[in-house]
Chain A
Amino acid sequence: MSQWRIKAEFPRLKRAPFFLTSPESPHYNCVAWAADDDQNVWWPHLPPLFSYWPPGVPRKEDLQTFIAAFATLGYTVCADGALEPGFEKVALFADAEGTPKHAAKQLPNGRWTSKLGLAEDIEHIIWGLEGGQYGNVVQYLKRKIPPQVASKA
């Protein structure tokens, strides 16, 4: 889809520069991308036949379930999305009812990367994606950067 369509869906991106960083792909979604997986669609959809969800984590569309899913990767809740050396962060978005709608991952430069549904990836500031169909950030998570990732950086 086009940058025009992205700006229409996420009005703050009209004022917050963003970059397309991939072509469209139905092979993974935002939660998978935030979990460093570009081969599966992660969602607690029921029945559990059509999407991946970490084994042992309930398939419920609520915030605690998403926090539990990222906990399987070593993430814990944290206060904000400020860049912290040695840590990587994930932001969970939810709508007004508290239903999770999106996840974004912080980049080493402090900006964020998001897979927009089954469409493109973008690089953006976190504020730019709030106020649209994903709602707002309701929880930040962080973990120590795994050694193999840290050595590449």
Chain B
Amino acid sequence: MSALAVPLPGFETTPKPRLAGVGQASKTVQDQWMRAHREAVAPVSRQPMWQRFAELAATWKEERGYSSSLTDVLMSPSYQRVIALGRPVVPYVLAELAARPDHWFWALATITGVNPVPERAAGNLRAMTKAWLRWGDNEGLVD
């Protein structure tokens, strides 16, 4: 067997030829087991939330490039996908904010429906970060 014919781990193919005496029901069970195995090995849907957020955060920083427009920065696809993760992602966004302050405020406000930043602090990253981390602490969302 050539190297190219060796199945990748988690992507084993159905054994061929079919074994004698193996019925359709057992084949269905086998197919379902193999599909479950594949999803367990490399599932996008089963990535832990922290990992999905970390990947989207890294992609967002690539996507925004050198854009000076805050509107463009916040409307980038990965940033919007973070918002789509909903309430479960909030503790990870707050942890990222504490470690590496960045413009996560639109996402946090959209997900939570609150904005703890005083109007006079709008645009000031340090003050906005401080306000959100205080809010997260009060909500029990910050370690």
Contacts and interface: CB of A to CB of B under 8 A. Distances in A.
B126 interface: yes
A127 interface: no
A27 B128 CA distance: 11
Contact of B124 (A31, A52, A134): A52
Q: How many of chain A's residues touch chain B, expressed as a range?
A: 35 or more
Given A26-B101, A40-B124, A50-B105, A45 B68 contact: no
A134 to B, nearest CB: 7
A43 interface: yes
A115 interface: yes
Given A45-B74, A118-B103, A51 B123 contact: yes
Given A27-B126, A51-B123, A134 B70 contact: no
B125 A49 contact: no
> How many B residues are at the interface, by size bracket?
20 to 34
B115 A41 contact: no
A61 B71 contact: yes
A29 B73 CA distance: 11
Given A9-B65, A50-B105, A29 B124 contact: no
B66 A51 contact: no
B69 A61 contact: yes
B123 A42 contact: yes
Interface in A120-141: 133-134
Given A50-B123, A51-B122, A52-B122, A43 B71 contact: yes
B123 A117 contact: no
B66 A9 contact: yes
Most chain B CB atoms below 10 A, which of A5, A43, A118, A119: A118
A50 B68 contact: no
Given A31-B68, A51-B123, 16 more contacts: A1-B66, A6-B66, A10-B66, A26-B102, A30-B68, A43-B71, A49-B105, A50-B70, A52-B122, A52-B123, A101-B68, A102-B68, A116-B66, A118-B64, A119-B65, A134-B68
Interface of A: 1, 5-6, 9-10, 26-27, 29-32, 39-43, 45, 48-53, 61, 100-103, 115-119, 133-134
